[in-house]
């Protein structure tokens, strides 16, 4: 849904909330094997479709995930992330568990193409930067203050 989205169950409700969500594996363990990544990305897209979340991009590396989606008005962000994390963790195996929290950043319509490109180029991007460096830079770019000791707990 690249235009205005009308909630199916909320008459007279319109929204256009694009969200870039980032979360890592617990302890940032490198356990999402490269061969499995396309299947995991597709599975995450399937989960989102089942919950009326319009997934625009999925990507990441061995230790973290980036998602860009349109959040429907009937679903809270925390619930959407919980659905995606819980279902994908069950699908992957007992070996995969996600970190407790996540980062979520609003994206304007004019920046969608750039964020999609960024998500799709994660492998290339992480030849130069670690996940931790990337996440700190994103927090700074969005003006989010944090205590370093609490960042990756």
Element spanning 57, H or E? strand 54-60
Task: Give 15-146's CATH code, choosing from 3.30.70.1290, 3.30.390.10, 3.40.50.880, 3.40.50.300.
Answer: 3.30.70.1290
- 90: how many CB neighbours lie within 10 A of its CB? 10
pTM of the model: 0.86
65 contacts 23 by C-beta, under 8 angstroms:
yes
List Cβ neighbours of 130 (8 Å cut-off, separation of 6 or more).
none
Q: What is the pLDDT of residues 79-138, one digit of tens each?
A: 999 999 999 988 877 677 898 899 999 999 999 999 999 999 998 878 888 888 899 999
Q: What is the pLDDT of residue 124?
A: 86
Q: What is the pLDDT of residues 55-67, one digit of tens each?
A: 999 999 999 999 9
Helices (H), 6-101: 37-50, 77-92
Confidence of residue 2 (pLDDT cuts 50, 70, 90): very low
Confidence of residue 10 (pLDDT cuts 50, 70, 90): low
């Amino acid at each position: 849904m690249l235009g205005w989205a009308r909630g199916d169950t909320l008459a007279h409700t319109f929204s256009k909330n694009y969200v870039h969500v980032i979360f890592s594996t617990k302890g940032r363990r490198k356990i999402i094997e490269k061969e499995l990544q396309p299947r995991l990305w597709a599975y995450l897209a399937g989960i989102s479709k089942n919950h009326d979340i319009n997934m625009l991009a999925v990507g990441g590396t061995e230790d973290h995930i980036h998602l860009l989606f349109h959040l429907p008005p009937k679903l809270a962000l925390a619930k959407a992330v919980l659905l995606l994390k819980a279902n994908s963790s069950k699908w992957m195996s007992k070996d995969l568990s996600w970190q407790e929290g996540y980062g979520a950043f609003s994206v304007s319509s004019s920046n969608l193409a750039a964020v999609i490109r960024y998500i799709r180029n994660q492998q290339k991007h992480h030849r130069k930067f670690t996940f931790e460096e990337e996440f700190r830079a994103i927090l700074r770019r969005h003006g989010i203050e944090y205590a370093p000791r609490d960042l990756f707990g």
